[in-house]
């Protein structure tokens, strides 16, 4: 090897061995948000390496510290806290000086609150044009409902999600065990902020992101709307039936009291399910097409339930695995951390009962367990 090639090889090896910084290293976020959507969003920024400084109102800070301390701890890990009375001119000036060093500002007050404090997007971006300013609210910064209070169920109701939720034949129900609109909005805020930061590299300019939770839930409705248009489901009754009634799709009880989820929607998966279970009289050629199975969804699901009632959940899951049928046991939250799939992939921050999950996508430079816990009040001044 020549001296030159050896030097090149040594340089390449040195570069490959150098530690990689987290994706958002060097990004500073000043976060005025409370409750769940904003903190969950900025938690993700912190997990990607951003410095997140949480501005909290005296005397007790974020209301979730008292309403749900476990929720607060789960969505504010790795942040700093600064207690500041924004109505006090001196403390507001201190916060504004902090914003001067920031890349992103996040707020989740009702429209107009930050303007009264002189901390609105127009005022701050006039002074700091590279700033990405994110407003998270229920219905957005304008429109006849902009000032309405609300929570997750209200935004789902407004976006049409609640009307097609629940069980067929019953009324609307928030049947999903997660706050869908809150978390959906948080993810749109995350993706839009990352896009705005990337765009800033080309334009030199930040922007104001108006993230409305109801708008975000509305966007998630598009796949449903497409399916209804194709099926000619123009009434709510038809839309509920199309959404809620699926053959070979659901959670089915087993002999040991546990449940197994099955999703044999495609024709080839239905064939494999029929090979695994005795589903007569529905296993023949007459039901090879989804249209025929859809018309008999109720009886088909009742037959599957009957077939599984005499076996334990582990037996059923093993059988369906062997036949390559989409299935999974219904796992209780307190047992999720012990599931080999998640344990093997290192998805949890600790091994305690109900541990918190890490950011789901592995990223270069992001180390497991590096985030730390949620901040004590005013930790940024200590």
Q: What is the mean pLDDT of the chain?
A: 91
Q: Which residue has the higher pLDDT, 304 or 364?
A: 304
In the chain, the percentage of residues whose pLDDT exceeds 90 is: 80
In whole angstroms, give the CA distance from residue 191 to residue 200: 14
Instruction: Give 199's pLDDT tier (boundaries 50, 70, 90).
Output: very high
Q: Which residue has the tokens 């990352």?
A: 194
Instruction: Please report which confidence band the pLDDT of residue 377 belongs to, taking 50, 70 and 90 as the band edges.
Output: confident
Q: What is the rounded distance in angstroms from the CA atom of residue 230 to the CA atom of residue 278?
A: 33
276 in the same domain as 188 = no
The answer to whether residue 8 sits within a structural domain is no
3-state secondary structure the chain: CCHHHHHHHHHHHHHHHCCCCCCCCCCEEEECCCCCHHHHHHHHHHHCCCEEEEEECCCCCCCHHHHCHHHHHHHCCCCEEEECCCCCHHHHHHHHHHHCCCCEEEECCCCCHHHHCCCCHHHHHHHCCCCEEEEEECCCCCCCCCCCCCCHHHHHHHCCCHHHCCCCCCCCCCCCCCCHHHHHHHHHHHHHHHHHHHHHHHHCCCCEEEEEHHHHHHHHCHHHHHHHHHHCCCCHHHHHHHHHCCCCEEEEECCCCCEEEEECCCHHHHHHHHHHCCCCCCCCHHHCCHHHHHHCHHHHHHHHHHHHCCCCHHHHHHHHHHCCCCEEECCCHHHHHHCHHHHHCCCECCCCCCCCECCCCCCCCCCCCCCCCCCCCCHHHC
Q: Are 29 and 106 in contact (CB under 8 A)?
A: yes
Residue 151 covered by a domain: yes
209 shares its domain with 252? no
Q: What is the pLDDT of residue 380?
A: 45
pTM value? 0.89
Identify whether residues 249 and 163 lie together within a single domain: no
What is the domain extent for residue 253? 245-330
Examine the domain organization and report whether 41 and 141 are in the same domain: yes
The CA distance from 148 to 158, in Å, is 12
- Is the pLDDT at 337 greater than 70? The verdict is yes
Query: Residues 79-103: pLDDT tens digits?
Result: 999 999 999 999 999 999 999 999 9
Same domain, 89 and 157: yes
Cis peptide before 96, with omega less than 30 degrees from 0?
no
Note the pLDDT of residue 16.
53
For residues 189 and 276, state if they share a domain.
no
Asked if 296 and 370 sit in the same domain, the reply is no
In the prediction, which pLDDT does 353 show? 63
45-58 pLDDT tens trace: 999 999 999 999 99
Instruction: State what percent of residues in the chain have pLDDT above 70.
Output: 94
CA distance 95 to 81: 12
d(CA 294, CA 287): 9
Number of domains in the chain: 2
**pLDDT tier at 169 (50, 70, 90 boundaries)?**
confident
- 32 shares its domain with 125: yes
- In this prediction, residues 332-360 reach a mean pLDDT of 85
pLDDT value, residue 134: 98
Catalytic residue IDs: 182
On whether both 127 and 264 belong to a single domain, the answer is no
In a domain, 346, yes or no: no
Of 90-99, 193-202, 329-338, 354-363, the one with minimum mean pLDDT is 354-363
Do 254 and 105 lie in one domain? The reply is no
Q: Is residue 258 part of a domain?
A: yes
For residue 56, the domain's CATH number is 3.40.50.10540
Residue 339 maps to a domain:
no
109/250 same-domain check? no
Q: Would 7 be classed as within a structural domain? A: no
- Tens digits of per-residue pLDDT, 128-160? 999 999 999 999 999 999 999 999 999 999 999
Task: Give the per-residue pLDDT at 10.
Answer: 45
Has residue 206 been placed in a domain?
yes
Average pLDDT over residues 249-265: 97
CB contact at 8 A, 81 and 56: yes
User: Domain with 274 in it: what CATH number?
Assistant: 3.30.1540.10
Same domain, 72 and 115: yes
Asked if residue 249 is part of any domain, the answer here is yes
Give Cβ neighbours of residue 18 (< 8 Å, ≥ 6 apart). none
The per-residue pLDDT for range 174-188, each reduced to its tens digit, is 888 899 999 999 999
């Amino acid at each position: 090897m020549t001296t030159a090639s050896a030097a090149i090889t040594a340089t390449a090896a040195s570069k490959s061995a150098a530690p990689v910084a987290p994706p958002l290293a060097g990004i500073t976020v000043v976060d005025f948000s409370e409750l769940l959507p904003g903190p969950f969003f900025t938690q993700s920024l912190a997990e990607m390496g951003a410095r997140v400084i949480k501005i909290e109102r005296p005397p007790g800070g974020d209301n979730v510290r008292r309403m749900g301390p476990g929720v607060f701890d789960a969505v504010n890990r790795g942040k700093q806290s600064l207690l500041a009375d924004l109505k006090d001119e001196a403390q507001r000036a201190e916060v504004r000086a902090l914003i001067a060093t920031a890349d992103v500002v996040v707020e989740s007050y009702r429209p107009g609150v930050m303007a009264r404090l002189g901390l609105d997007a127009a005022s701050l971006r006039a002074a700091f044009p590279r700033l990405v300013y994110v407003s998270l609210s229920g219905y957005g910064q304008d429109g006849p409902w902009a000032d309405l209070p609300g929570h997750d169920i209200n935004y789902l109701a407004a976006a049409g999600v609640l009307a097609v939720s629940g069980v067929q034949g019953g009324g609307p129900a928030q049947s999903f065990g997660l706050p869908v609109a809150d978390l959906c909005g948080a993810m749109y805020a995350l993706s839009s902020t990352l896009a705005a930061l990337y765009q800033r590299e080309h334009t030199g300019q930040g922007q104001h992101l108006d993230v409305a939770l109801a708008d975000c839930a509305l966007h998630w409705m598009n796949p449903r709307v497409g399916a209804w248009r194709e099926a000619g489901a123009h009434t709510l009754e038809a839309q509920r039936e199309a959404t809620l009634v699926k053959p070979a799709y659901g959670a089915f009880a087993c002999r040991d009291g546990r449940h197994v989820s099955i999703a044999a929607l495609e024709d080839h998966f239905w064939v494999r399910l029929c090979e695994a279970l005795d589903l007569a009289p529905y296993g023949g050629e007459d039901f090879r097409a989804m249209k025929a199975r859809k018309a008999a969804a109720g009886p088909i699901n009742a037959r599957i339930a009957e077939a599984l009632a005499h076996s334990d959940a582990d037996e059923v899951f093993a059988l369906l695995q062997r036949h390559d049928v989409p299935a999974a046991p219904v796992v209780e939250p307190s047992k999720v951390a012990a599931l080999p799939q998640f344990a093997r992939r290192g998805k949890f921050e600790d091994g305690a009962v109900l541990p918190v999950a890490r950011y789901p996508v592995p990223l270069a430079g992001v180390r497991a367990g590096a985030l730390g816990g949620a901040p004590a009040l005013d930790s940024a001044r200590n």
